[in-house]
Amino acid sequence: SAVISQKPSRDICQRGTSLTIQCQVDSQVTMMFWYRQQPGQSLTLIATANQGSEATYESGFVIDKFPISRPNLTFSTLTVSNMSPEDSSIYLCSAQEDSYGYTFGSGTRLTVV
């Protein structure tokens, strides 16, 4: 199955700054997804990233706050912009490699102070 390398694994950031999270997949995948998981909660889908097109955002998430890039079939980035303490969460990228499920990166634990 595909392996996704996600970095950074954790970061502590000042409010008002931005953080870019990177995900590298070891094989080509059509769709990549970005999720947020707040402490003790389930995964909430932020957006879907296709190569060569704008990301599709879920209700409650906007491009200005969470810009996404998908320059090729193995890589994607998510930026958390103008951060506030409410953005403290675990951010996960995911890719569907076939019809049998989705693989996740190891996650980025973000703390905004």
Partner 1 sequence: QKEVEQNSGPLSVPEGAIASLNCTYSDRGSQSFFWYRQYSGKSPELIMSIYSNGDKEDGRFTAQLNKASQYVSLLIRDSQPSDSATYLCAVLERGSTLGRLYFGRGTQLTVWP
Q: How many residues bind partner 1 (CB under 8 A)?
A: 24
Alpha carbons 61 and 11: distance in angstroms, whole number: 21
> Residue 16 CB, nearest distance to partner 1 (Å)?
28
Alpha carbons 15 and 18: distance in angstroms, whole number: 8
Binding mask 52-81 for partner 1 (x = CB under 8 A): ------xx----------------------
> Residue 68 CB, nearest distance to partner 1 (Å)?
14
How does strand 19-25 pair with strand 56-57?
unpaired
Residue whose tokens read 């506030």: 84
For position 107 contacting partner 1 by CB under 8 A, the verdict is: yes
User: Tokens at residue 6, please?
Assistant: 């996600």
Alpha carbons 94 and 48: distance in angstroms, whole number: 9
- Contacting partner 1 (CB under 8 A), which of 2, 13, 43, 73? 43
Which residues contact partner 1 (rule: CB under 8 A)? 30-31, 33, 35, 41-45, 48, 58-59, 92, 94, 96, 99-107
